[in-house]
Amino acid sequence: MKHATPFVTSVAVLVMLPIIAIAQEASTRLASHGIAETFEQRMSHEAAVIRATPGESIWQQIPWVFSVTEGQKLAQAEKRPIFLWMLDENPIERC
């Protein structure tokens, strides 16, 4: 199995510094209030920063049809326009 070279590892560590800063920022906020943050609390804070906000995932509330022919049948039946989104990935898998 290959391992990352020391150079790659060094670059990765340097580039990761801002991420570590995000985690430390949350810890510092708690510490300034005299509260020692547990590992679980830190994980929870970091997760909240990464997790999608309601606005970012609002498109998931649209009742998508995943077939143009099925969509057109529905459009004709309901006399509605079609909104067609062509993606490079599967919207119900990775997107």
Partner 1 sequence: MLTDPQVVQLIRDYFIPVAIDKQTFFGARDREAIALANRMTGGRAINLGVHTASPDGDKINTFSAAAQSSSPAAAVSFLRQAMQQVGAAPARPAQNVDLYPNRGVGALADGSVRLAATLRYVVNGHPSKKPVFDSITLSSAEWEAMLPPKTAETRYDVPEEIVRQFSRVVGPESDTSNLLLPQHVTEAHLTGTMSGHGATGTDIVLSGTISASRPYVNDRNKIMPGFARIEGLLKLDAEGHPIRLTMIFNGTFKMPWAGSPSPTTALVEWRLH
Which is nearer to partner 1, 32 or 69 (by Cβ)?
Answer: 69
Residues 6+ apart with CB under 8 A from 46: 22, 23, 26
What is the x/- site pattern for partner 1, positions 21-60, by CB under 8 A?
xxx---------------xx--xx-xx-xxxx--xxxxxx
Q: Indicate whether 6 belongs to the interface with partner 1 (CB under 8 A).
A: no
Contact 26, 39 (CB under 8 A): no
Which is nearer to partner 1, 34 or 81 (by Cβ)?
Answer: 81
Determine the size of the site formed for partner 1 (CB under 8 A): 65
Cα–Cα–Cα angle for 7, 14, 29, nearest 5°?
Answer: 155
Residues 6+ apart with CB under 8 A from 81: 75
Q: Whole-number minimum distance, CB 1 to partner 1, in Å?
A: 6
Q: Please give the radius of gyration of the chain, using alpha carbons only, rounded to the nearest integer.
A: 23
Footprint of partner 1 on this chain (CB under 8 A)?
A: 1-4, 8-9, 11-12, 15-16, 18-23, 39-40, 43-44, 46-47, 49-52, 55-72, 74-76, 78-95
